[in-house]
Amino acid sequence: MSTPPQGKLALPKLAEMKRDGEKIVMVTAYDAPGARFAEDAGIDIVLVGDTAAMVVLGYDGTVPVTMDEMVFLTRTVARAARRPIVIGDMPFGSYQVSDEAAVEHAIRFFKEAGADAVKLEGAGPSLSRVRAIVGAGIPVMGHVGLTPQSATMLGGFKTQGKTADAARQLVEDALALEEAGCFAVVLEAVPAPVAAEVTRRLEVPTIGIGAGPDCDGQVLVYHDLLGLSEGHLPRFVKRYASLSREIRDALENYAEDVRSGAFPEEQHTYEMPSEELEAFERTSRSPSTSRPRAQATKSSSSPTKA
Ligand code: KIV
């Protein structure tokens, strides 16, 4: 197991925060500026979510994002985030096939991308993947409830655990993930009382997204909370800014200024010493006078080059 860099929030601190009733703050990020903003805001965990497929890469769901793309994005985040724990989200296909493949891909996040941990979705078959990856020395965050990689099987992006049986199963799945070695479990789109019960039963922290106020921490997608996402948003999203409006206004103003000549102004323009400018203007007005005689002669007998 590798030693965490100096200043990095220690993983066991998360369980301590749970015991002390101190809320854990997690946000997604997909590039270095996002990671720096999260770091400066004192965020505890930065997840390089496979939501990158939708909010960065323009797909309709999370399934298409590849391992190489996730490694690339995670590396940019890990480079910039010093204190927050950086988690690489294992994309669809990177852990479904076998324990061995899961470990190999988790190692890529850990070794190539510089992630501190990985996250994967589901319980059931995912439990042996968690055991295998933790066994290789890589911390794993679990994720139950609405697991977007299997949204088709779940009947769409729908709240999970709404019947007594489904709620009981959800509690069992979360307990099994803890037992398998997860250091925390994400609960997505789960009724608040069910999430509260999971949180009470687990020793490791729960991180909620659409799972009510009783989880040990909360996570939101960067683009959703900043108002960079457009179109329909799930009801669990709270917007803290309207950046897409600001970006659109700024780009429209820029285009207008370029077309009207209002940009660039003097303050955006470089000058040069007046004597250099005069010399430059002299030579550029009659270029052949400043050239050495031989060259001038040669060029006068050869075709002009652009
Ligand atoms: O990929 C992601 O962004 C996530 C969060 C929504 C928890 O899994």
Look at residue 286 in the predicted model and tell me its pLDDT: 60
CA 49 to ligand 1 center in whole angstroms:
5
pLDDT at 1: 58
Give, using CA atoms, the residue closest to atom 6 of ligand 1.
221
Instruction: Look at residue 301 in the predicted model and tell me its pLDDT.
Output: 36
pLDDT for the residue 288: 52
Ligand 1: centre distance to CA 290 (Å): 65
Ligand 1 contacts CB of residue 186 (under 6 A): yes
Q: Does residue 188 carry a catalytic annotation? A: yes
Ligand 1: which of 28, 63, 150 to mutate, judged by most atoms within 8 Å of the beta carbon? 28
Q: How far apart are CA 256 and CA 261, in angstroms?
A: 8
Overall pTM surpassing 0.75 (yes/no): yes
Select from 163, 182, 169, 174 the least CA-distant residue to 198.
174
Q: Is the CB of 51 under 6 A from ligand 1?
A: yes
Choice from 143, 221, 228, 233 to test ligand 1 binding pocket (greatest atom count within 8 A of CB): 221
**pLDDT digits (tens), the chain, 306 positions:** 567 777 999 999 999 999 999 999 999 999 999 999 999 999 999 999 999 999 999 999 999 999 999 999 999 999 999 999 999 999 999 999 999 999 999 999 999 999 999 999 999 999 999 999 999 999 999 999 999 998 888 888 889 999 999 999 999 999 999 999 999 999 999 999 999 999 999 999 999 999 999 999 999 999 999 999 998 899 999 999 999 999 999 999 999 999 999 999 999 999 999 999 999 999 887 655 444 444 433 333 333 333
Report the alpha-carbon distance of residue 190 to residue 158 in Å, rounded: 9
What's the rounded Cα separation, in Å, for the pair 8 and 84?
6
Cα 51 to ligand 1 centroid, rounded to whole Å: 6
Nearest Cα neighbor of 216 from 63, 11, 21 is 21
- pLDDT value, residue 287: 54
How many residues appear in the chain?
Answer: 306
Catalytic residue selected from 16, 69, 178, 188: 188
Pocket test residue of 48, 219, 233 for ligand 1, highest count of atoms within 8 A of CB: 219
